[in-house]
């Protein structure tokens, strides 16, 4: 079997998961290089990795470069992606910088695998909440069409990075110790050093604010769901409205999704369709208290769907409850799956 030289750029939460996925999925690795802003040694699941300081020259001889990405920050992807491409690598970027570039395919392998062929050196990984949404919706879209979506996401703290997970942990400890959380973070969730991680208290709280606010008072995260879904599914006629909420969960995004189909679809039929969908697992027995939950899907690569039910007032309306690990399928696994498509 042919081997491929791979670079992983970034050693945050997503970068670590990329290293795990390459090993767990037995990707045919030749040389593996790990890059970050500074050199260091790290350990992942008992294996040591030497991290090199990133430089254009470091991409020489690399076949595929996986950029872990930093949401909302013009960083390594903008600076180094073109340098990697110049040296013959194909870049798969998990950040926000290339997703809506019309020249860059936005790929979820279960949905639009053929778009990989359109790349000109760079392929974009969608936003985590978009990935799980389209994986679950694609089988329904193919069978019954989709006219309209109303989506509420309940997104874990890890979606905002390791600092947000630490904020959740420290706030919980503080509150359970009866220490006023304001002493640690202030009213806007700032650490004692003034660094903002999340805009509000996350422990024992939820807030509808992920990203900045823009057109129609929708956040950037909400617009990502709209625009990325249109691009991936090649259908900008689907009417999509979203509210994105941060919740005090460590890892695993949940989504409450209302689907108005073009053709009426009974819940029993929808369950059957979804059960046969690639990358989808249906857990839907509410009488036995069985439905997907973040605590059960952490560390798993599939998209889980439950609470499949008809709108009692609109014949073509369905409700779905969708849960997935945002660091795995929502980021690292999707990127590695895309790399697997490339080598096939």
pLDDT tens, position by position, 85-102:
999 999 999 999 999 999
Q: Quick one: how far is CA 181 from the chain centroid?
A: 29
Confidence check: pLDDT of 268 > 90 = yes
In this prediction, residue 193 carries a pLDDT of 52
Known active-site residue 295: no
| Residue range 21-41: mean pLDDT, rounded | 96
pLDDT at residue 187 above 50? no
Long-range contact set of residues 284-293: C-beta below 8 Å, sequence gap at least 24: 284/308, 291/321, 292/254, 292/321, 292/322, 292/323, 293/252, 293/254, 293/323
- Concerning whether 128 is annotated as a catalytic residue, the answer is yes
21, 119, 128, 244: the active-site residue:
128
| DSSP letter, residue 262 | S
Pairing of strands 239-246, 303-310: unpaired
Q: Quick: pLDDT tens for 223-251.
A: 999 999 999 999 999 999 999 999 999 99
Domain boundaries, the chain: 4-126+332-343, 130-156+206-325, 162-199
301 contacts 25 by C-beta, under 8 angstroms:
no
- What is the side-by-side strand order in the sheet with 303-310? 239-246, 146-155, 253-261, 317-324, 303-310, 280-282
pLDDT band with cut points at 50, 70 and 90 for residue 180: low
What are the tens digits of pLDDT across the range 139-170?
999 999 999 999 999 999 999 888 899 999 98
Q: Compute the mean pLDDT over every residue in the chain, rounded to the nearest whole number.
A: 92
pTM of this structure: 0.92
Using pLDDT thresholds of 50, 70 and 90, give the confidence band for residue 175: confident
Residue with tokens 């006629």: 237
Residue 2 has pLDDT above 90, yes or no: yes
Three-state secondary structure call for residue 323: strand
Tell me the CATH number for domain 4-126+332-343: 3.40.50.720
CATH fold of 130-156+206-325 reads: Dihydrodipicolinate Reductase; domain 2 (3.30.360)
Catalytic residue, chosen from 21, 119, 244, 253, is: 253
């Amino acid at each position: 079997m042919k081997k491929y030289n791979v670079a992983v750029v970034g050693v945050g939460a997503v970068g670590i998961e990329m290293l795990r996925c390459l090993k767990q999925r037995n990707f045919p690795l030749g040389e593996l290089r790990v890059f970050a802003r500074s050199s260091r040694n790290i350990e992942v699941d008992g294996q040591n990795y030497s991290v090199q300081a990133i430089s254009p020259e470091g991409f020489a001889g690399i076949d595929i470069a996986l950029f872990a990405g930093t949401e909302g920050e013009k960083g390594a992807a903008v600076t180094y992606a073109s340098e990697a491409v110049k040296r013959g690598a194909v870049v798969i970027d998990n950040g926000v910088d290339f997703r809506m570039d019309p020249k860059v395919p936005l790929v979820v392998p279960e949905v639009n695998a053929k778009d990989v062929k359109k790349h000109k050196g760079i392929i974009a990984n969608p936003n985590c909440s978009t990935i799980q949404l389209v994986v679950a919706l694609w089988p329904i879209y193919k069978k019954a069409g989709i006219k309209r979506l109303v989506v509420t996401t309940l997104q874990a703290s890890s979606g905002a990075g390791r600092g947000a997970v630490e904020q959740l942990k420290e706030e919980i400890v503080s509150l359970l110790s009866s220490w006023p959380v304001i002493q640690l973070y202030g009213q806007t969730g700032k650490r004692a050093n003034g660094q903002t991680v999340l805009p509000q208290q996350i422990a024992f709280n939820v807030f509808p604010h992920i990203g900045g606010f823009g057109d129609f008072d929708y956040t950037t995260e909400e617009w990502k769901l709209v625009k990325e879904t249109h691009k991936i599914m090649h259908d900008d006629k689907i009417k999509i409205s979203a509210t994105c909420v941060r919740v005090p969960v460590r890892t695993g995004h949940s989504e409450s999704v209302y689907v108005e189909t073009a053709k009426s679809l009974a819940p029993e039929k929808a369950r059957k369709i979804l059960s046969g969908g690639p990358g989808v697992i249906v857990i839907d027995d509410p009488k036995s208290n069985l439905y997907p939950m973040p605590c059960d899907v952490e560390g798993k690569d599939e998209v889980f769907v439950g609470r499949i039910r008809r709108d009692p007032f609109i014949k073509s309306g369905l409700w779905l409850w969708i849960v997935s690990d945002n660091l795995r399928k929502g980021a690292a696994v999707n990127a590695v799956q895309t790399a697997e498509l490339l080598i096939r």
